[in-house]
Structure 1
């Protein structure tokens, strides 16, 4: 989702299994190409004060009942944290914090101090009624700090001029939507929820004199700007609205 020199965020996507029973399609707006793609896991990578990579993973238990208040599995550096109380959990370095959301029956507020604040919540698919119903994660980005080289299938939208670039790319025939994402799907695939090894990786690369783009050994981005390591942009916005960014 996001890849930058100081932060990487991954998502695990899933679709309907071949034997899924579709009871009802509840909206006429679903196109003939609609098969359903949802998210059930998020991975966060950052570096602590010593420069060591720290990994936080959140998984949704899709077999949980609608009444379970904590249908999540939370892992830090591969260790399960268990169900969280109202005070939540904070990493020993003081950077990562996970707190159950008071605004939702099943939600988590995740903060990486000075980097990112997001709320994830459990939701149920309403356009396709299946047996059992599809459960998935919703994501609300409250704020994040980005560098000028930020990328990823969400992160690239926050680079200066990125929206205008994508809007000018035109429409993919037959898919009934505009194409805003640079590259193909497989170029965004990582080997693990908390691994930064996709083709667009910026988090784990080394920036050298001969590589001012910040891509390192990873794929050369088509629109990568020069990397300015000390320039960060703080982005913030309403819970489900547009974002404003300032230097």
Structure 2
């Protein structure tokens, strides 16, 4: 068994550029390499804490956000809305907790039910799976935008007329998914409708009413487009 003095002699014989050269020096202190590494980490920590980081990736400088709150601007229902959120916060939480827009519902919170569906750049998305910081620069539409001057949107009215809701938790997500479907395909077949709404679940089982609502809304939205000379967006 070697003595402490023996281990010091061994450390002294190791070349500085060896993979073993990061062991403590013969006085039991920190090696020069470890000291330099520790110093660089110590200098980096304040920058990380403040969320002010510029890193290089592939020769380009990239701004890294977080972990502190950052100010974001979202285009929601045609208006610019600002919020201060942590980078881990989802669009759903930002809508509900920061902007007081509670139409999108938190039900599963894991992209399986569709109750939080909003339309982003014309496509239905789960707001619970989109980071708020990533939604910047996108056109976001929520169920709150559909009611115009107290008049229900044709999709909303069709849901009422066809009794296509019970508890109501899934309804806003279904309404937005239906609108996105009919905006893209005004006359969907049964198969296309089922495909377009396949990401939304109704635990109350009102699927027959929902199918009837889609059929009615399709006819009403086509009438609206015809009256507007084909320029309407439903």
- TM-score, normalised to structure 1, is 0.23
Which structure's CA Rg is the greater one? 2
Q: TM-score, normalised by structure 2?
A: 0.23
> Which structure has more RCO (C-alpha within 8 Å, separation ≥ 6)?
1
Larger strand fraction of residues:
1
Larger fraction in helix = 2
